[in-house]
Structure 1
Amino acid sequence: MITVIQIGLGPLGQQIGRYISEKTSICTTAAVDINKQLEGGDFGKLINGTPSNVLINNSVQNALEKLTKKPDVAIITTVSSIKKLEAQIEDVAKHGIPIVSTCEELSYPWEENPESSKNIEAICQKHKIACLGTGINPGFLMDYLPSVLSSVCKNIDSILVERIQDATPRRIPFQKKIGAGLDLKTFKAKEAEGTLRHVGLKESVYFLAKSLGFELDTVTEDLNPVIAENDIKTSAMEIQKGDARGVQQISYGYQNGGCKIEMNFKAAVGEPRSYDKITVKGVPSFTSEIDTGINGDIATCAITINSVKSILKAPPGLHTMATIGVPGYLN
């Protein structure tokens, strides 16, 4: 039985907790969140209404002091910013516990956050633990999966990766992160603050470029609102015609003036069709499409849990999905 300490009990952490509770080879033995209202509460009751012997603590130290055996691995679902994650990683690593995190910027941080990458690598080596940033996107659909598909190619000229999704069934924090329901003035203000965007698109470009051996000269990113053409009403919100119903981000990776990698991410409430699509131009050229797309919330939780067995076998250091063993289904 693999034992887990979960850190961060927002909607994603709770969903991961529920999924773990349904499995036979892994269990949560400690839970941590800084929310004072959760402190001392029953973790089982929080995730599925069933009492458990796991109480929620407000720090890793407090949680571990109550255990007779330290957990095998930590799952951190707290922030998207790698800079904010650094201290949390060290807080866990000093106890010799390997880490899997859903922090988007951790998925491939060396280009966008070189200093934090260096710091985290040093922490991992000092305490002899492995650390991984993963998720469905970044972490799989727009980077790891196209890198795997490239294995059948003799030559590759360019790759286009598209993730188009209806955000209606996604969790509310995700809908807010993509600006659904905001008027355009507020959308632009939040964009300028850096609080409104899909985090991790450039990281996916750099991950894929590294996998393909492309030495990119420039990586750019454009962000625009997806505007509602009609009033939209869902169980979570009402969106007025002319307001934003989501976001579209496109990132380009250039080499010698030519576009080698293009990633098109679009998530919006009321999007008529969801799909994940990879188009390879090369020898051979081909297109691979997942009709209806992959539900991001379900898949992020699943791949985080399934990556645990791989990180437990990985050598010390900061890893990506390309440097660990292939994670399969964990029962």
Structure 2
Amino acid sequence: MINVIQLGLGPIGQRLTRYLFEREGIQIVGAVDPDPQKVKKDVGEHADIKALGVSISPNLDSCAAIRQADVAIISTVSFLEKMEVQIREVADYGLDIVSTCEELSHPWKTHPECAHRINDYCKEKDISCVGTGVNPGFLMDYLPSVLTSVCREVKHIKVERIQDARPRRKPFRDKIGAGLTGTEFEENRGAIRHVGLPESVHMIAEAMNWKLSEVSETMHPVFAEKTISMDSGKVQEGDVAGVRQVARGYQSDSEVITLVFKAAVGIEESHDSIHIIGSPTFTSTIDGGINGDIATSAIIVNAIRSISRAAPGLKTMLDITAPAYFSGVNA
């Protein structure tokens, strides 16, 4: 039995509750969210399943079963600066950590000082910690790295994640600016983007043992060519439907990694494609793409066994045993 505490009970946190509940050998013993409208609610009922007898607490210190827990699942923030404080609080209770924090997925080059502090603190507290998800954490970094296992030589890796945002949760659509006018998009540009592409570039580079001279990222709005309906309203013709971001990694003047992320409501043919140029050269495509909300929650649950087996410290997906679906935890 693995006892789990959840931190963060928004849309992804609620989905995680459902996925954790259905997995044999995993038990939710605590739940934390500071939102006063969630505090004291049963975590199962909050996730639209049966009552689990676990009330949502406002913080870790008020979580009655904290000493029974083995692993903390953190689905709260995307940015490492805010995440560091939460990691320290959880580490003080001796819990291993699996998190959806995008910048935690591979922070060694993007936030080196913070990454080293987290790594040192985790080692001091004898716990292991990993940030993962569908992207970053799998589709645009870990999976292409694994696919190069069959290569004699690799010269260039290009990944394209093209997805219709209509099936995704509303916070995701908000994050990509769906429904904003062009002016509103520019006014809020600092808050609109998919987080994690530079981290994915650096993860691939680490796997390839490539020393990059430069990493760049660009972002542009995708405009709706017609009015598009979604469950939270409509995107009018000419307004922003989503974003197209491209991250590139260079060795000297040569582009060796290209990551293309396009998410917008109304995309007709979603797909995830990985192009490897080398020996052999090949393309692997997932027609229809992978639903990010399902996949992120699933990989978090599937990574629990892997992080429980890992040595203390801050890990990436390259460091832990490959997560795989498991029907239950062996007694």
TM-score, normalized by length of structure 2?
A: 0.97
RMSD of equivalent CA atoms:
0.9
Write out per-residue CA displacement over residues 133-153 of structure 1, whole angstroms, 9 at most, x where no aligned residue: 000000000000000001110
Aligned to 1:22: 22
Mapping for residues 93-104 of structure 1, pairs under 5 Å: 93-104=91-102
Change (3 A) 1:283 1:41: same
Q: 2:240 aligns with which of 238, 244, 247?
A: 244
Q: Which runs of 4+ in 1 moved over 4 A?
A: none
Aligned to 2:184: 186
The Cα shift of 1:256 comes to 1.6
The Cα shift of 1:67 comes to 2.2
Judge conservation of contact 1:305–1:330 (CA < 8 Å) in 2: no
Mapping for residues 222-261 of structure 1, pairs under 5 Å: 222-261=218-257
For 2:50, the aligned partner's letter is T
Write out per-residue CA displacement over residues 217-275 of structure 1, whole angstroms, 9 at most, x where no aligned residue: 01111100010011112221211111100000001111120100000000000001110
Mapping for residues 46-57 of structure 1, pairs under 5 Å: 46-57=46-57
Q: 1:326 aligns with which of 317, 322, 328?
A: 322
**Matches of 1:25 and 1:137 in 2, distance apart?**
27
For structure 1, which runs of at least 5 residues remain unmatched after alignment?
A: none
Give 3-state SS (helix, strand or coil) of 2:267's partner.
coil
Q: 2:155 aligns with which of 130, 154, 157?
A: 157
For 2:60, the aligned partner's letter is V
Aligned to 2:65: 67
Judge conservation of contact 2:222–2:242 (CA < 8 Å) in 1: yes
Judge conservation of contact 2:66–2:93 (CA < 8 Å) in 1: no
Aligned to 1:83: 81
For structure 2, which runs of at least 5 residues remain unmatched after alignment?
A: none
Change (3 A) 1:243 1:122: same
**Matches of 2:224 and 2:6 in 1, distance apart?**
38
**Matches of 1:76 and 1:106 in 2, distance apart?**
11
The Cα shift of 1:69 comes to 4.4
Pick which of 112-121 and 286-295 moved more: 112-121
Q: 1:203 aligns with which of 187, 199, 204?
A: 199
Judge conservation of contact 2:30–2:66 (CA < 8 Å) in 1: no
**Matches of 1:326 and 1:315 in 2, distance apart?**
14
**Matches of 1:91 and 1:119 in 2, distance apart?**
14
2:84 maps to 1:92: no
Aligned to 1:43: 43
**Matches of 2:70 and 2:146 in 1, distance apart?**
29
How many pairs are equivalent? 327
Give 3-state SS (helix, strand or coil) of 2:188's partner.
helix
Percent sequence identity is 49
Judge conservation of contact 2:130–2:314 (CA < 8 Å) in 1: yes
For 2:118, the aligned partner's letter is I
Pick which of 225-234 and 42-51 moved more: 42-51
